[in-house]
Amino acid sequence: MHRYTHNALRGLAALALIQGAVPAHAAGYPAKPITFIVPYTAGGTTDLVARTAGQKVAEKLGQPVIVENRPGAGGNIGMDAVAKAAPDGYVIGFGAISTNALNPFVYPKMPFDPTKDFTGISMLGASSVVLEVGPSVKVDSVKDLVAYAKANPNTSYGTPGTGTSMHLAGVMFDQLTGAGMQHVPYKGSAQALNDLLGGHLPVMFDNLPASLPHINAGKVRALAVTGSKRAPALPDVPTLAELGYSGAVVDPWFAVYGPAGMSPDVTRVLSDAFQAALAMPDVKDKLEKAGFMPYGSSPQEVERLTQSQHEAFKALSQKVKLSAD
C-alpha cells in the first residue's frame, strides 16, 4: 500500500506541474456562489487549505467560494451533505484519505459509499502526521517512547478524531511496536494540543500544520513523521521508516469532491480552477510554510487514487483493527 501511495502522490505532483491550467467552459457556470464544505472543525489544517485555495478559485471563476465547516463522525457528516447535494457544481467538499478511503473500515455504518457517491475534481495535496510528546513525557526518541509506554501500561495517545489518518497512524504504530497505548479521540487538533501542552495528554499523533508552531517554539517534541518522506517543514525529524518502523507509514492526502453525476464540463471548470490556484507561488509558499504540500490534479487522478486506496485499506483491515473505538 505504502509504496503505491508514495508513487501515486509523486505522480500526481508531477502531473500538476506538466498539465496546463487552461480554463474550460461550461455554459453559464458558475452563475452563483459555490459552497465548499469542510467536514472538520474551523481553524485547522483543512480550513487553512480550503480558505486559501477557495479564495483564488473564487477570483478565477468570478463567484464567491463559501467555506462551510460541518464537523463530526470523522468527516462523514460533512461529506454526506456533499454526497446528497444536487450534482450541479454548487456544493463541493474537502475529502480526504479518511472520508473517501479509510472510513468504511472504521465505521460500521456509513451514510454514503465513497467509491460511488462522489465525483473527483482535483487533488489538494498532502500533509504529514507527526508523532510528538508533551512536556509530561521525558523521552527524546521513538525507541524511548515505546519503552516508556511498555513501562507505563495504557499510556494515552491523542488524535484529532476517530477515523482520521492520525488515528490510523496511531493504531498501526501501536500494533507494530506492541506499545500497548490507548487511543483518546478528540474533536479536532486544538483541544488535544491544549491537553498535550498542559501535561494532561502524554502523546499525540497530529496533522503537522496544527502542531508545527508548538514544535518550532520548543513546547512539543516531534519524535518522527509517519510519511514515506521527511516533511519539508521538519527536515531534521526522521520518518518512522528510517527508524525501522516501515509497517506504520501513513501518507495523508486530500482532494476536492462533488456529488456523483456532475457533468464533465462543470467538473473540468472546477478542476482547472483548483489546479491553477494550487500552483500559484503565493499559495504554495503560504501552505508549505504551514507544513502542507499543495498540488492539484485531473479528476481522473482523484478517482484512481480513491479507488486504489479504498482497496488497500480493505486489505489492511483484514490484518489490523481499524474500527472505531
Return d(Cα 262, Cα 119) in angstroms, integer.
7
Do the domains spanning 34-126+252-319 and 129-243 agree at the CATH topology level? yes
What digits encode the pLDDT tens for the residues 79-123? 999 999 999 999 999 999 989 998 898 888 899 999 999 999 999
Q: Taking the CA atoms of the chain, what radius of gyration do you get in angstroms?
A: 19
The set of cell numbers assigned to 287 is 501552505
Predicted model pTM: 0.80
Three-state helix/strand/coil letters over 12-33: HHHHHHHCCCCCCCCCCCCCCC
Predicted confidence at residue 25, as pLDDT, reads 53
Evaluate whether 162 touches 99 at the Cβ level (below 8 Å): no
Predicted confidence at residue 24, as pLDDT, reads 41
**Residue spans per domain, the chain:** 34-126+252-319, 129-243
CA 173, 114, 116, 318 torsion: positive or negative?
positive
Single-letter residue type at 10: R
Instruction: Using alpha carbons, list the distances in angstroms from residue 267 to 36, 180, 254.
Output: 14, 46, 17
Single-letter residue type at 198: G
Predicted confidence at residue 18, as pLDDT, reads 36
Residue by residue, pLDDT tens for the chain (325 residues) are 444 344 444 444 444 443 333 344 577 899 999 999 999 888 777 889 999 999 999 999 999 999 999 988 888 999 999 999 999 999 999 999 989 998 898 888 899 999 999 999 999 999 889 999 999 999 999 999 999 999 999 999 999 888 788 998 999 899 899 999 999 999 888 899 999 999 999 999 998 988 999 999 999 999 999 988 899 889 999 999 999 998 888 989 999 999 999 999 999 999 999 999 999 999 999 998 888 899 999 999 999 999 999 998 888 888 777 776 5
CATH dotted code for 129-243: 3.40.190.10
Predicted confidence at residue 4, as pLDDT, reads 39
Single-letter residue type at 75: G
Q: For residue 308, which of 6, 37, 84, 94 has the smallest C-alpha distance?
A: 6
CATH T-level topology, domain 34-126+252-319: D-Maltodextrin-Binding Protein; domain 2 (3.40.190)
Return d(Cα 139, Cα 276) in angstroms, integer.
44
- For 126, the 3-state DSSP assignment is strand
Predicted confidence at residue 42, as pLDDT, reads 83
Evaluate whether 104 touches 50 at the Cβ level (below 8 Å): no
Omega before residue 30 within 30° of 0, cis: yes
The set of cell numbers assigned to 122 is 482535483
Q: For residue 82, which of 234, 270, 253 has the smallest C-alpha distance?
A: 270
Return d(Cα 125, Cα 264) in angstroms, integer.
22
Q: For residue 317, which of 168, 129, 166, 100 has the smallest C-alpha distance?
A: 168
